[in-house]
Structure 1
Amino acid sequence: MPELARPLTVTQISKAKGQKTPYRLADGNGLYLEVRPSGRKSWLIRCRLPNGKQSPAIVIGHFPEDIPETGLSLADARTKAITLIRAVEGGEAVKGVNAAKRDRRSARVSEIAAAAQQAAEAERFSFRTVATRWLSEKRPTWQSETYRKARLIVETYLIPKLGDVDMRTLVTKDVKPVLLGMASKVPVLARKAKQHVGSIVGYAIDEGMRADDAVLRLNNLLPKHEGGHLPAITENENELKELLKAIERYDNRVVRAALTLTMLTSLRPGIIASARWSEMDLAAAEWRVPGMELDGRNRMKTGKDFTTSLPKQALRALEEMRLFTGGTEYVFPPLARQKTPHLGRDSLSKALREMGFRGKHTTHGFRATLRSMGRERLNYELDMLEQQLAHAPKDQVQAAYARVKFKEQRRQKMQEWADHLDRLRDEDHSKE
């Protein structure tokens, strides 16, 4: 009978040194210690396979036991060897430490890839991404100011709270606390935010992220809020008279001229602030506003070209600005520290607040002033007023009727309006 290998001792293993070629020290029961020229010591096993053949040597660990991950003491190596040999005899496939390392690395790589894919999918369907795409697709159809406000609401109020929520599973209870929080602080913006959330959800449905009936129940979510209209002087002519005098006295010529053009044309503040000289035909006393910007964004809210006559008072204000800004693209240049290429529309609101009309009248309020006082004091036709305010006609017949009937009538009536404002401002007595 062949002589059985003597079991190794810890001392023997510790004293084993590397030689020119690798060599093995047998411990018995198929367990060996291999010593490399570098001095590295590895535990190996060889066992009988179920088919009767001898297995190749399998590295099951290293000595000493303090080697990270694979270190085994003599006792641990013997225990592991017995366990693996029995597994092989039972027909199980056994891998060495190097193969196990490769498997672990592969598993980690797979886990990282799966996590990255999951994160990418979560970001793709997140409220943040979907809302940003919705804004981008809406931008060409909106006026610059409409887009600015929508972006403010989405990026300032909605994304910080809902940004990581999956649009595929977004429900009303996710949105409710956000909108109610806004309602307690900025009720007007809360109502706009509710509209935007509904539109974003609709966009997600159109893109196949949600079922066709997966809408949110937002209609009765917000508490009723009184008011909602922008402040405007629409009844008291004494207040309007004070406003007209305050504008005439305002020391900044750019803002003063812009406010004058606003009250004489009743166009929206964003259109006024971004007025271009190329749009002005001073000889014909007309301002022709293109419905779209060159980049495809709406300039007019309706997206349709619009022409308004320019009363004599408006022409005087424009002539003053031409002397001041002749040769520039925009009629009203930006004020100091403004980053826009033209006057910021908020400068007009700020000026009205400085004049003492906070909560009483806004730049947009000049539109309501014309509509209310023009109708009640000067008996202007409502359809003519709607056309001057560039409200979209309800149907094609009304649109054609407005174009035919109101161009010259608007020219006459807007000059009457300008004269009426002059008389009111210059009156020496007050009216109730």
Structure 2
Amino acid sequence: MPRLAASLTELHIRKAKPKDEAYFLSDGNGLVLWISPAGRKSWRVRYRLPDGSRPAPATVGHYPEMSLAEARVKAVEVQRDAKQGKTTAGVRKARQEVEAVADEELAAEALLRAEIEHASFRAVSGRWMAEKRPSWATETYRKARLVVDSYLVPKLADLDMRRLETKDVRPVLVEMAKETPQLARKARQYLGSIVDHAINEGLRPDESRLRLDRILPTYRSGHMPAVTDNDGKLGEVMRAIDAHENRVVRAALILAALTAMRSGVVASAQWKEIDLDAGEWRIPGKNPDGTNRMKTGQDFSTSLPEQALLVLREMHERNMGGEYVFPPQARQNSPHLSRDALSKALRDMGFQGEHTTHGFRASLRTLGRERLEIDVDVLEAQLAHAPKDEVEAAYARVKFREKRREVMQAWADYLDGLRVGVKVIQLKHQST
């Protein structure tokens, strides 16, 4: 004998919560309470027609508009009319409501899914980047896209921004900090801004910012890591670069070391900027879209030492007509080598916390002055630091062009000497 279902009570009905999929609670005698993922509670009646068939259950009402007691009465009426084969209003209406309610519930579920997707980290971060894009430089947008798409979205994509908490993002940032500490700090900055965007959209209350300040390990404040006082260590760096298995990354690191140009400028170098015959690299201050290519926004040129020309000619032989000197590597979406590939290479070679690609600028500024006695003004001109005024800028470009060619070849020879372990004779430079 089949076990009879326990009858429902008002308390059971009120406590019934929606789940990921629709489910029902049985009251017995063919009456069930159907609960949709959207939380709608409907009374449905199972019945049998005179030919013995069982059509789809008839929806006879919704809770709380129809009470449990009223639903039980309606269930008896529907089953009686169906058994007698009557096309009464009850059975006819029940059949019509099956389709109407199904459509209504599908619409409600679709709306719920749309609301959840709209509030997801994936969607909010996408709208945040779209809003910021017009005011960002190309490189700023590229880095934000890299961090969000490659590190944050894969871990946080489906999390609801309406309920996002600090504990949800902490493991992601901590894991990033182990491998890419600089990008982890950027990720923390971006997360705070994305949460602010969600607040501005009304998805979160004003006081619901995340506590992100002390999540990451404390790093020494100041400039990026650079070897500035240890010839032996800088020699290790140059030998490791020289032995790097990826020839594109190797060449880009050598160019960064020999010219002291910023890593983003090096990675995006174009052949039309480089004159191999004249040994000159002429860098436009602006990108075609008006954003800065050089930090100052001013056109800049640097001589290319013989060692730099050697690796550039190697790249030219490999180029196959490409626009950029350093083509993108595996899994890189940019049209040229990612500047982060240079920093990653130095970390992988064991120099994390000791030296970065940007650190070659500090190495030239300090060791060029102390070991080679290069004039400070010449160093500042080579590093493309912003002059105090236009007159000084024009003066530096004219006065130091030949001097910079001389000292940058001396710098390249100095690094070559460290690489092979040969003591470099200190060079004296006459005042200009």
**Shorter-chain TM-score: what band?**
0.5 to 0.7
Alignment identity in percent? 42
Indicate conservation of the 8 Å contact 2:271/2:325, yes or no. no
Q: For residue 187 of structure 2, what is the aligned residue in structure 1? A: 193
Correspondences of 1:283-432 after superposition (within 5 Å): 286-294=280-288, 296=289, 298=291, 300=293, 302=295, 304-313=297-306, 316-317=309-310, 320-321=313-314, 324=317, 328-330=321-323, 332=325, 334=327, 342=336, 360-377=354-371, 388-390=382-384, 393=386, 398=388, 400=390, 403-408=393-398, 411=401, 412-413=403-404, 415-423=406-414, 425-426=416-417, 428-429=422-423
- Give distance in 2, aligned partners of 1:78 and 1:320: 87
Q: For residue 38 of structure 2, what is the aligned residue in structure 1? A: none
Indicate conservation of the 8 Å contact 1:247/1:260, yes or no. yes
The letter for the 1-side match of 2:54 is I
Shift of 1:129: 0.8
Q: 1:335 to 1:341 in 2, by over 3 A?
A: closer
Indicate conservation of the 8 Å contact 1:309/1:410, yes or no. no
Report the secondary structure of 2:127's partner residue: helix
Residue by residue over 1:5-33, the C-alpha shift from the partner in whole angstroms, topping out at 9 and shown as x without a partner, is xxxxxxxxxxxxxxxxxxxxxxxxxxxxx
Residue by residue over 1:220-263, the C-alpha shift from the partner in whole angstroms, topping out at 9 and shown as x without a partner, is 34342457965432111233345556767889876665444322
Q: For residue 63 of structure 1, what is the aligned residue in structure 2? A: 50
Indicate conservation of the 8 Å contact 2:369/2:376, yes or no. yes
Shift of 1:61: 6.8
Q: Does 1:128 align with 2:87?
A: no
Q: For residue 24 of structure 1, what is the aligned residue in structure 2? A: none
The letter for the 2-side match of 1:332 is V
Residue by residue over 1:359-403, the C-alpha shift from the partner in whole angstroms, topping out at 9 and shown as x without a partner, is 654433312212332354456677875664456x5xxx8363652
Alignment match of 2:95 (pick from 93, 101, 114): 101
- Give distance in 2, aligned partners of 1:212 and 1:170: 14
The letter for the 2-side match of 1:406 is A
- Give distance in 2, aligned partners of 1:82 and 1:322: 84
Shift of 1:168: 4.2
Indicate conservation of the 8 Å contact 2:279/2:309, yes or no. no
Indicate conservation of the 8 Å contact 1:292/1:300, yes or no. yes
Indicate conservation of the 8 Å contact 1:292/1:303, yes or no. no
- Give distance in 2, aligned partners of 1:119 and 1:361: 48
Q: For residue 119 of structure 1, what is the aligned residue in structure 2? A: 113
Shift of 1:106: 1.0
Q: 1:198 to 1:405 in 2, by over 3 A?
A: farther
Q: Does 1:158 align with 2:145?
A: no
- Give distance in 2, aligned partners of 1:389 and 1:228: 18
Q: For residue 66 of structure 2, what is the aligned residue in structure 1? A: none
Shift of 1:116: 0.8
Indicate conservation of the 8 Å contact 1:264/1:414, yes or no. no
Indicate conservation of the 8 Å contact 2:303/2:408, yes or no. no
- Give distance in 2, aligned partners of 1:269 and 1:371: 16
Report the secondary structure of 2:213's partner residue: coil
Shift of 1:194: 1.0
Q: 1:372 to 1:314 in 2, by over 3 A?
A: same
Shift of 1:114: 1.5
Residue by residue over 1:134-169, the C-alpha shift from the partner in whole angstroms, topping out at 9 and shown as x without a partner, is 33455563445x555433432344224432333345
Indicate conservation of the 8 Å contact 1:142/1:301, yes or no. no
Runs of 5+ in structure 1 lacking a partner? 1-59, 85-93
The letter for the 2-side match of 1:130 is V
- Give distance in 2, aligned partners of 1:352 and 1:318: 18
TM-score (norm 1): 0.62
Residue by residue over 1:26-69, the C-alpha shift from the partner in whole angstroms, topping out at 9 and shown as x without a partner, is xxxxxxxxxxxxxxxxxxxxxxxxxxxxxxxxxx9731454234
Shift of 1:177: 4.7
Q: For residue 15 of structure 2, what is the aligned residue in structure 1? A: none
Indicate conservation of the 8 Å contact 1:321/1:331, yes or no. no
Q: For residue 230 of structure 2, what is the aligned residue in structure 1? A: 236
Report the secondary structure of 1:106's partner residue: helix
The letter for the 1-side match of 2:397 is K
The letter for the 1-side match of 2:281 is W
Indicate conservation of the 8 Å contact 1:62/1:70, yes or no. no
- Give distance in 1, aligned partners of 2:151 and 2:315: 41
Q: For residue 276 of structure 1, what is the aligned residue in structure 2? A: 270
Indicate conservation of the 8 Å contact 2:328/2:335, yes or no. no
Q: 1:345 to 1:196 in 2, by over 3 A?
A: closer
Question: Number of matched residues?
Answer: 354
Shift of 1:350: 7.5
Shift of 1:123: 1.1
Report the secondary structure of 1:96's partner residue: helix
TM-score (norm 2): 0.62
Q: 1:103 to 1:387 in 2, by over 3 A?
A: farther
